[in-house]
Amino acid sequence: MNGAQSLIRTLVDAGVDVCFSNPGTSEMHFVAALDTVPEMRGVLALFEGVVTGAADGYARIAGKPAATLLHLGPGLGNGLANLHNARRAHTPIVNVIGDHATYHKKYDAPLESDIEPVAGSLRGWIRRSGSTADVGADAAAAVAASQAPPGRVATLILPADISWGDGGVAVPPIPPRVPHAVADTTVKSIAEVLRTGEPVALLVGGPACREPGLRAISRIATATGAKPFVETFPARLERGAGLPAIERLGYFAEQVTEQLQGVRHVILAGTKAPVSFFAYPGKPSDLVPEGAQAHTLAELDQDVVGALEALAEEVAPGTEPVLQQPHRPDLPTGPLTAQNWVDVIGALLPEGAIVSDEANTSGVRLPAATAGAPRHDLLTLTGGAIGQGLPVATGAAIAAPDRPVVALQSDGSALYTISALWTMARENLNVTTVLLNNRAYAILRLELLRVGAEGSGPKAMELLDLSRPDMDFVKIAEGMGVPASRATTAEELAEQFRRALAEAGPHLIDAAVPSLL
């Protein structure tokens, strides 16, 4: 058994049986080893940002890591933005990076590159395999590290000669670490805060964004009057009819300020105190209202849901959560607008859908329109590095082949990782992409106003304009093997969305929505 074979066998034994791959020469023994471990599925992507984003989307849905296969420092660089998003989502990923053979590095061949400092920027776990005999143990450690609460990117660097060398040993999985329970005294002291009668906001994130956590939050809020919020960009938020509908904290500081207006206490569970996404001249970065106190019920690496349930038992015994009633918008008509496209999605979103949302400014009205749709999972742009939506949808569809995946994708951010469409076609994934084509970096037009940039004029506006030339996403999608159509009215969008959902495999709808600015 060579090193690569021991690596793949160990991963599979630990439950990691999908590897999103964009290999090069130094990874050829890993590629060859796929044929010797039939349980491992290799999924090819044509760009590393698709590899890493798909691994993120996969784990958010599968609840276990996928592996990646990247080619030296440049391959890691190309995958870094979506690994950044995965880091912020606390997604477990086993990030395998091939490197030159150990004895070859000193020659400084053209692809020689520093891998550790780049991977180190992810603040996760890193190991470089030093001998073929250790690769299995390294792989088992990487899986365990990736899954240790709250989850992280575990990077395993695999030199080519370590990979091709003989003497690999498959190693059994390391039992996963479980999150530590929150102390009773902490739960009780938070209960005291809730009993003061002062205005309280309860802000949750991470694992609390799924049904058990949401039910606990709803009970606490109902019994105490605390205002509950979900963090701005949850990795995976369960929502829709039959689940408590918890409002997300806004993206813009002004929204958050309004949401937290008058609050004297902010209770945090599985997330950090709210801060502005960006800094703006003369505006605060820290969004905890002045004079309010932040209290932490549970850190992300603790048992967040258990703590919320304990708190609910403490302050809301016998109280039931308030569940969202089924409600869908009527199917709208007429040319597409910022409102009616979200109504189409809300009206037609199928049961059990997974929604990958990178609609950005086009999607500001989406939460309301889909609140009462059938139960679905929402995957969001956790780290703010755009180009995540299509890869995350790809990975989610691999994780849940029987569930419909809907990618809501803006034009500006689509181009970073557009070749995800090709992988969707290759793997015949049930992903319906609605491409919100407003022909602009609309969010940046807004930000240009918000930052109060002086002197801005036609050259600045031109740098935020995507209409010269217009992109034809029907052609781009078809060019990558994904059937596509164009919608300019709500009726067309509804008809095409319905049809795409009814047919197996990927589809793209190029939806001509107006820019808000």
Contacts with a second copy in 170-189 (CB under 8 A)?
Answer: none
**Least distance between a second copy and beta carbon 330 (Å):** 34
What counts of helices (H) and strands (E) characterise the chain? Answer: 20, 18
Indicate whether 275 belongs to the interface with a second copy (CB under 8 A): yes
CA 142 to chain centre: 21
* Residue 126 binding a second copy, by CB under 8 A: no
The answer to whether residue 317 forms part of the interface with a second copy (CB under 8 A) is no
Q: Which of 117, 197, 318, 334 binds a second copy (CB under 8 A)?
A: 117
Q: For residue 130, state whether it binds a second copy (rule: CB under 8 A).
A: no
CA dist., res. 287 & res. 272, Å (int): 11
| Residue 424 to residue 46: CA distance in whole angstroms | 11
Region near a second copy per CB under 8 A, out of 193-201, 306-314, 324-332, 445-453: 445-453
Site for a second copy in 9-28 (CB under 8 A): 21, 23-26, 28
Nearest distance in Å: CB 394, a second copy: 14
451 forms part of the interface with a second copy (CB under 8 A):
yes
CB of 408 to a second copy, least distance (A): 19
Reduce the DSSP state of residue 515 to 3 states and report it.
coil
User: At residue 353, what is the residue type?
Assistant: A
Residue from 11, 14, 16, 31 in contact with a second copy (CB under 8 A): 31
503 binds a second copy (CB under 8 A): no
| 88, 128, 365, 499: residue in contact with a second copy (rule CB under 8 A) | 88
Q: Is 458 in the site for a second copy (CB under 8 A)?
A: yes
Please name the residues in contact with 489: beta carbons below 8 A apart, sequence gap of 6 or more.
Answer: 333, 334, 335, 336
What is the rounded CA–CA span in Å between residue 288 and residue 271? Answer: 13
Tell me how far apart the alpha carbons of residues 447 and 280 are, in angstroms, rounded to a whole number.
Answer: 9
Select from 106-114, 144-152, 191-199, 294-302 the region that touches a second copy (CB under 8 A): 106-114
Judging by beta carbons within 10 Å of its beta carbon (0-12, 13-18, 19+), is residue 345 exposed, middle or buried? buried
Q: Applying CB under 8 A, does 160 fall inside the site for a second copy?
A: yes
Closer residue to a second copy, CB minimum distance, 183 or 279: 279
d(C-alpha 306, C-alpha 327), whole Å: 30
For residue 183, how many other CB atoms are within 10 A of its CB?
11
Q: Which of 17, 104, 257, 501 binds a second copy (CB under 8 A)?
A: 104
Query: Does 54 engage in binding with a second copy (CB under 8 A)?
Result: no
Which residues touch 55 (CB under 8 Å, ≥6 apart)?
20, 65, 66, 67, 68, 86, 91, 93, 95, 395
Compute the least distance from the CB of residue 434 to a second copy, in Å.
17
Q: What's the CA gap between 3 and 38, in Å, rounded?
A: 16
Asked if residue 291 binds a second copy (CB under 8 A), the reply is no
Largest Cα span, the chain? 70
Q: Given the complex with a second copy, which of 32 and 174 has the nearer CB atom?
A: 32
Residues 66-85 that bind a second copy (CB under 8 A): 73-75, 77-81, 83-85
Considering only residues 3, 49, 150, 404, which one is a binding residue for a second copy as defined by CB under 8 A? 49
Question: Which tokens is 455 given?
Answer: 């002197």
C-beta of 354 vs 480, nearer to a second copy: 480
Least CB distance from residue 87 to a second copy, whole Å?
9
By the rule CB under 8 A, 456 interacts with a second copy: yes
Q: Which is nearer to a second copy, 286 or 503 (CB)?
A: 286
Task: Output the smallest distance, CB 36 to a second copy, in A.
Answer: 4
With contact defined as beta carbons under 8 Å apart, do 194 and 220 qualify?
A: yes
131 binding a second copy? (CB under 8 A) = no
Site string (478-497) toward a second copy, x via CB under 8 A: xxxx----------------
- Residue 471: CB minimum distance to a second copy, A: 6
CA distance 410 to 506: 17
Sign of CA dihedral 175, 82, 17, 171: negative
CB of 187 to a second copy, least distance (A): 26
Strand partners, 159: 99
Of 118-126, 171-179, 305-313, 401-409, which part binds a second copy (CB under 8 A)? 118-126
For residue 6, count other CB atoms closer than 10 A to its CB: 27
Contact pattern for a second copy over residues 378 through 407, marking x by CB under 8 A: ----xxxx-x--------------------
Least Å from the CB of residue 209 to a second copy? 16
By CB under 8 A, residue 192 contacts a second copy: no
Confirm or reject binding of residue 457 to a second copy (CB under 8 A).
Answer: yes
153 lies in the binding site for a second copy (CB under 8 A): no
Q: What is the 3-state secondary structure (H, E, C) of 436-475?
A: ECCCECHHHHHHHHHCCCCCCCHHHHHCCECCCCCCCHHH
What Å distances lie between residue 354 and 83, 138, 310, 403, CA to CA? 21, 33, 29, 7
Residue listed under structure tokens 């991977």: 119
- The yes or no reply on residue 258 touching a second copy (CB under 8 A) is no
Q: Where are the beta strands (DSSP E) in 133-205?
A: 153-159, 200-204
Residue with the two structure tokens 């209409």: 467
- DSSP class of 471: P
Does the protein bind a second copy through residue 294 (CB under 8 A)? Answer: no
125 near a second copy, rule: CB under 8 A: no
Instruction: Tell which residue, 401, 410, 467, has the closest CA to residue 431.
Output: 401
Of 351, 326, 324, 356, whose CA–CA distance to 246 is shortest? Answer: 324
Q: Does 252 bind a second copy (CB under 8 A)?
A: no
397's tokens: 């569809």
Instruction: State which residue, 271 or 324, has the beta carbon closest to a second copy.
Output: 271
Task: Give yes or no for residue 412 binding a second copy (CB under 8 A).
Answer: yes
